[in-house]
Structure 1
Amino acid sequence: MLVKWIRCTVVDRPAFERGQRKWAGLPGEPGFRGQGGGWSRARPEVAHVFAFWESRAFYDSFMARSHDRLAAAQVGTFKDAEVRLFDHRFDVKSGFEPRFTDADVARIAHCVVREERAEHFALMQRKVWNPAMAGSPGMLRGLFGESPGSEFVTLSLWQSAAERGKYRADGVRRLLRRAETETDVVRLTGDVVQLDPAWSV
């Protein structure tokens, strides 16, 4: 599965939100699996959108055919758009599905990892971070993805910001030490996203 993450700074919120509803046409596209998103809880002008496709071939076909027509409604409503693509490597918890209607917030973590430490980083995600997150009340499901250049993404969906906050408070420093994250990672950025049900496709 291909994971697309879009982050942008919105300059016309009402028009951007109207345009976001145009993406309701996506389910007819071959290979489309789901889409959702919302607003950064830390920076309310920043929007995040997560889209999922069965494969890169289906995604490339969509981009060549239908993307520009659907995207036209949002032209001029945002700036500083960053688009990143990741290949799904494994689930966090189990049985990831690109559904957003049962979640309140999403947590996105983007890591650039030292090339020689990439496999260790992925192993620690599976052995240390996954069990900790999967055992946290309120954590619904998530995924771990990879792209060339030793870039990784972890996306997790939570029932509420309060539940996600409990996980954060529950020994993250200990997990960081155990996973040797500081040794592996060159740069880590992330955000907590207040999901908007109207953006779910």
Structure 2
Amino acid sequence: MIIKRISCKVKESKKEAFFDHQKQWQPLSEVNGFLGQLGGWSTAEPLTACIYSFWKTQREYAFFMEEIHDEIVDRSGQRGAYESIDIRLFEENLENAGMAAGILDIVVRANYIRASLSLVKDAAVRHFADMQEIVWNPGMQKSEGMLGGTFAFSQKQRNLCLVLTGWESEAVHRGYMEESLPKLLKMAETKHDVLELTGEEFKVEEEWRVCPDRSN
């Protein structure tokens, strides 16, 4: 699976326009290989839009970019609604199992998203990945309201890792952060593996949610 992370900085005066433009990505639902898209405003930076889309394969994503993407962008008028845009592609290494039945179900059901980007020491990449399977995955599965997610490597930078999880609500995620996260960090020895850790959280904007047309 390919995960596309998009981060847009928006001026206050353009925030409403960006919101409306982002609603116009529903044509994605009919594109072959598309698994869903979620987005919302960063809880820490209210003028930053966080958007994640999911694709079955690199080939299908590449076809979308070459043949369809620009048409949707031009129709939406979104290019002039943001100050800057940062786009990164990741490839799934491990599914983080939860209450949902895979990424499509997460796209349908998640109301809150937590994503972390970890720049890992080159010598620690294997250990960091193993800890996702041995510590983090089973640890998060025990958390109320955790729907599931993905652990993925950047396509351009092998030691840049993405962990994305979907939650039923902000409240249940907050409970996980307070009750489970400190213990899991210690068990996984994350501080010994990571050079830099950044995270983002957002409440899913319902009108930005794009689900694939399952009838195709």
Q: TM-score range by the shorter chain?
A: over 0.9
- Report if the CA contact (8 A) 1:100-1:197 is conserved: no
Q: Match for 1:33: what amino acid?
A: L
Measured on the aligned residues, the alpha-carbon RMSD in Å equals 1.3
**Pair 1:10 & 2:17 matched:** no
Task: Figure out how many residues of one structure are paired with residues of the other and give that number.
Answer: 201
TM-superposition CA deviations, 1:142-187 (whole Å, max 9, x none): 1111123311111111111111011111142332222111111111
More strand by share: 1
TM-score (norm 1): 0.95
For the residues of structure 1 that align with 2:145 and 2:34, how far apart are their CA atoms? 27
**Pair 1:167 & 2:176 matched:** yes
Residue 60 of structure 1 aligns with which residue? Answer: 62
For the residues of structure 1 that align with 2:31 and 2:180, how far apart are their CA atoms? 43
Q: Any residues of structure 2 matched to 1:36-47 within 5 Å, and which? A: 36-47=38-49
The alignment-based identity, stated in percent, is 35
* Segment of structure 1 superposing worse, 15-24 or 87-96: 87-96
**Pair 1:132 & 2:139 matched:** yes
The alignment partner of 1:76 has SS state of helix
For the residues of structure 2 that align with 1:185 and 1:21, how far apart are their CA atoms? 36
- Report if the CA contact (8 A) 1:5-1:48 is conserved: yes
For the residues of structure 2 that align with 1:87 and 1:42, how far apart are their CA atoms? 26
- Report if the CA contact (8 A) 1:31-1:53 is conserved: yes
The alignment partner of 2:132 has SS state of helix
Shift of 1:30: 1.9
Shift of 1:130: 1.1
**Pair 1:113 & 2:120 matched:** yes
Q: Match for 1:137: what amino acid?
A: E
Shift of 1:79: 2.1
* Segment of structure 1 superposing worse, 11-20 or 151-160: 11-20
Shift of 1:132: 1.4
Unaligned runs of 5+ residues in structure 2 are 211-216
More helix by share: 2
Residue 34 of structure 1 aligns with which residue? Answer: 36
The structure 2 residue matched to 1:92, chosen from 71, 89, 96, is: 96
Q: Match for 2:89: what amino acid?
A: L
Residue 199 of structure 1 aligns with which residue? Answer: 208
For the residues of structure 2 that align with 1:101 and 1:57, how far apart are their CA atoms? 24
**Pair 1:79 & 2:83 matched:** yes
For the residues of structure 2 that align with 1:38 and 1:172, how far apart are their CA atoms? 23
Unaligned runs of 5+ residues in structure 1 are none
For the residues of structure 2 that align with 1:34 and 1:171, how far apart are their CA atoms? 28
TM-score (norm 2): 0.88
For the residues of structure 2 that align with 1:116 and 1:17, how far apart are their CA atoms? 42
